Amino acid sequence: MISTKSLFILIFSGFIIISNLKAQSIKKTSAKRPEIGLKKTKLFTKKTASKKEDIVEQKFQSQISSTANFRQNTVVGKKGEFGNLKLHDKFIADAYLGFTGSFAQGDFIDYHKSFYDVTAPDTKVSGKIKPLYFLSFGTNLYFAPFYKEKGALSKLGINLGLGYVKRGFKSINSSEYQPSTQDLIDKTVYSEQYRLNYLTGQLSIRYGKKVFAEIGLIYDNLLGSTRKVVLEHEVSGSDAYNGGFKSKTSEINSLDKSIMNKSGTGYIISFGWQFSHLAYMRLSYNNSGKVFNEGANFKTRTLQFQLAIPFYTHSFFK
């Protein structure tokens, strides 16, 4: 049998061995922990770095998006963008050179015509009212807000115009005296020419694209006006004094502003054809307001042919 002392020594020895084994186990574990901790730290660092890269990437993408949005909502000269409206998709601007014919009507014209019916012995009297023709120029700005819509609405737009135009008329009155008892011809030609210079503004509604029609209002602002008088006198024939003579006198005067209407309104009707994205033509008719503010008066009717060149346009109008 094992004695009590031997059993105690065996138990004590076993306890020491177990303690040593446990201590060694703890030492090994603690020796491995730094490695494990380092791995965890490295792993955490990689994840952190990845997250930081993601954050930087997200910020970069956000900046790009913000920049794009800023450009989209800011005026960009080349594309003509302003906010959410793409102006280059909705506007067309042009400059035009026109040829204008001015035709007059009214009591003042009838007054001039009354001298054409005068009768006298051995005298022929005649007369006529002639239209005047001038060059004109200006610019138009066409706004097409519905061009992306389908159907008839896509052809509807607003046209604003600003131009310089002349109006007026010429009255010619001639008389020819030829007595039956003499070889004598006495001829007189008297003419009056009225020229009116206007700065005009136009607001009209346009319908159509390549081929279009417009109707609207026109506002006239008088810049100046003149009256030119020409008198031609010729006497010929064997019985003429000193064999006859020929003379011509003329003068130009500005009309008194106090009798002129400084502004007026009328209507305008136009038809146009855009035969190229580089040019189009327009034929316009407008009826203006009264020229004078008192007495016998007259109005002008203007027929104008325009050749326009767009200087701000886009593919919709091409």
Measured CA to CA, the distance from residue 125 to residue 122 in angstroms comes to 10
pLDDT at 276: 81
pLDDT at 44: 44
The DSSP result for the chain, as a single string, is ---HHHHHHHHHHHHHHHHHHHHHHHHHHHHHHHHHHHHHHHHHHHHHHHHHHHHHHHHHHHHHHHHHHHHHTS-BTTTTEETTEEHHHHEEEEEEEEEEEEEEESHHHHHHHGGGG--BTTEEEEEEEEEEEEEEEEEEEEE-TTTTSSGGGGGEEEEEEEEEEEEEEEEEEEEEE--TTSS-EEEEEEEEEEEEEEEEEEEEEEEESSEEEEEEEEEEEEEEEEEEEEEEEEEESTTSGGG-EEEEEEEEEEPPGGGB-SEEEEEEEEEEEEEETTEEEEEEEEE---SBSSSS--EEEEEEEEEEEEEE--GGG-
pLDDT at 160: 95
Mean pLDDT, residues 257-282: 90
Give the pLDDT band (50/70/90) at residue 170.
Answer: very high
pLDDT at 80: 38
For residues 141 and 109, the answer to whether their CB atoms sit within 8 Å is no
Q: Is the dihedral of CA 142, 146, 148, 151 positive or negative?
A: negative
Whether the per-residue pLDDT at 210 is higher than 90: the answer is no
Higher pLDDT, 238 or 254: 254
Give the pLDDT band (50/70/90) at residue 173.
Answer: very high
55-64: per-residue pLDDT in tens? 656 655 665 5
Whether the per-residue pLDDT at 71 is higher than 50: the answer is no
Give the pLDDT band (50/70/90) at residue 52.
Answer: low
pLDDT at 26: 47
Burial class (CB in 10 A: 0-12, 13-18, 19+), 52: exposed
Give the pLDDT band (50/70/90) at residue 43.
Answer: very low
- Degrees (nearest 5) of the Cα angle 192, 112, 302? 70
pLDDT at 181: 86
pLDDT at 310: 84
How many other CB atoms are found less than 10 A from the CB of residue 36? Answer: 10
112-159: per-residue pLDDT in tens? 888 887 888 889 999 999 999 999 999 999 988 887 778 888 889 999
Mean pLDDT, residues 23-30: 50
Structure pTM? 0.68
Higher pLDDT, 136 or 314: 136
Q: Where are the domains of the chain?
A: 17-72, 87-317
pLDDT at 14: 54
